[in-house]
Amino acid sequence: MQNSIRHIFLAGLSMVCISIMYFLLLVMRAPMPVILAVVAAGIILLFTWFKKAVPAITTPERHTELYTVIVIAGLTWLGHDIYLFSDRHGGWDAWAIWNYHARFLSDSAHWQMMFVNHGNDHPDYPLCLPSFFGFLIRLCSGRGYMFIPFAFSVFITIAIVAILFSALAKKNLLIAAIVLYLIVTDTFFVHTGISQYADTPLAFFLLCALISLDQSVAHKKYIIISAAFLGCCAWTKNEGAILALVFLAFNAIVFFDKKNIRYTFTGLVLPLLALLVFKLCYAPPNDITSGFTTKTLSQAFDAASYRLIFNTFKDNLHDKFHYMEILFFIYLALCMLRRKRPSLHFVMLIFCLLVYLSFYIFSSHDLQWHLNTSLDR
């Protein structure tokens, strides 16, 4: 693994470890000096283990002048778009849910008050982002509640671009440059990335899990890292738990092999512990599952709902992800020409998409509203 990707992975895992440790210590009513000591010790242990498990590349990475020019041009374009689309408060989900919850979690005495409002701010959502932001806000004596989430969203947006480019450039610089251009010129991606929503971190963790699993062919300890990132997905959003389960099911041969299952458990144990404590002891029922009735079940036979979902998905794909639409058919055509089946990762991601779409069929909300406010993300 390239050092650039290795460092980004470590940064992502460190942020989630801080989030989990802070939440669990809040539950135990630990004072701030104890929280700081435990968090510091935990991060030191993570860094020490990661250094041994994922050793640095001993041979220098071959970066040509063209590589450097492409990177500078891509980051300049991305930075310009980030500046252009920046919103100090983020989108609706940011200031009404994630950053709102972070303000509660920065208060050790009253943080559980966030569970009182069941109507609008979704206190059942996992606490990866709010807990991490809450810790930093508390560390800054209540300041930084606008800058911290924004800085994190910028980091995650740039990190996704950097990981994709670095991973692809190792195989083919031209393809890496094309992908970089498509991403940095995609205003929807940039705007969503810095909206401070949880969807972009979720995508980041899923991407890291995919790359780590591929690396596990050569180094078994990458299974721990891949499983840990799946745990990060579950700790980030309710949908993340579904993505993690699908990922584990599709790659069960690797994760649950007798020789590997201890690695899988090691990676999952901490985020699953935090999620179970949160869901069993604090979180109210989810708005979708709690609204599930026999009437909701009957929606599975409503042809109009399927048409609406399909048409909205098709419009979104064409308007906001047109290049993905083209690449999808190019990939399938190449598979047919080479007489190869699509990769397992490709099939898994398509299945994840179908699972996402199936939730709209059983939505207890107005279907048109639900699709308009979430499908593109």
Instruction: List, for residues 324-360, the tens digit of each pLDDT value.
Output: 888 888 889 999 998 889 999 999 999 999 998 888 8
Torsion angles phi and psi, residue 267, rounded to 5: -70, -30
Number of other residues whose CB lies within 10 A of the CB of residue 111: 22
Q: What is the Cα–Cα distance from 218 to 313, expressed in whole angstroms?
A: 38
Cα–Cα distance list, 16 to 20, 178, 322, 334, 356 (Å): 6, 31, 33, 38, 24
**pLDDT value at residue 137:** 94
**pLDDT value at residue 326:** 87
Q: Which two tokens stand for residue 59?
A: 């041979």
Q: Average pLDDT in the 4-27 region?
A: 95
Q: What is the Cα–Cα distance from 221 to 219, expressed in whole angstroms?
A: 6
Q: Which two tokens stand for residue 215?
A: 């690396």
Question: Taking the domains of the chain in order of start, what are their residue ranges?
Answer: 3-284, 287-377
Residue at token pair 């709690």: 290
Q: Which two tokens stand for residue 107?
A: 């208060």
**pLDDT value at residue 44:** 96
Flag the least confident range among 10-24, 107-121, 125-139, 229-243: 107-121
Q: What is the Cα–Cα distance from 149 to 144, expressed in whole angstroms?
A: 9
Does the pLDDT at position 125 exceed 80?
yes
**pLDDT value at residue 118:** 65
Assessment of whether the complete model's pTM goes beyond 0.85? yes
Cβ atoms of 267 and 226 within 8 Å: the answer is yes
Where does residue 323 rank: exposed (0-12), middle (13-18), buried (19+ CB within 10 A)? middle
Does the pLDDT at position 293 exceed 80?
no
Q: Could you report how far apart the first and last alpha carbons of the chain are, in Å?
A: 29
Comparison of pLDDT for 366 and 112, the residue scoring more: 112
- Residues near 321 by Cβ (< 8 Å), separated by ≥ 6? 188
- Residues near 326 by Cβ (< 8 Å), separated by ≥ 6? none
Comparison of pLDDT for 1 and 262, the residue scoring more: 262
Torsion angles phi and psi, residue 168, rounded to 5: -80, -35
**pLDDT value at residue 119:** 63
**Using one digit for the tens of pLDDT, what is the confidence trace for 182-204?**
999 988 999 999 999 999 999 99
**pLDDT value at residue 87:** 79
Q: What is the Cα–Cα distance from 311 to 374, expressed in whole angstroms?
A: 15
Number of other residues whose CB lies within 10 A of the CB of residue 331: 13
Could you tell me the pLDDT band of residue 63, with boundaries at 50, 70 and 90?
low
Among 176-190, 244-258, 283-297, the range of highest mean pLDDT: 244-258
Q: What percent of the chain has pLDDT over 70?
A: 94
Helices 344-361 and 367-374: angle between axes, nearest 10 degrees: 140
Which segments within the chain are labelled E, that is strand?
none
Residue at token pair 């806000």: 137
Could you tell me the pLDDT band of residue 292, with boundaries at 50, 70 and 90?
low
Q: Work out the mean pLDDT of the chain and round it to a whole number.
A: 89
**Using one digit for the tens of pLDDT, what is the confidence trace for 27-58?**
999 999 999 999 999 999 999 999 888 776 65
Q: Which two tokens stand for residue 303?
A: 């042809």
**pLDDT value at residue 61:** 57
**pLDDT value at residue 287:** 64
Cβ atoms of 125 and 237 within 8 Å: the answer is yes
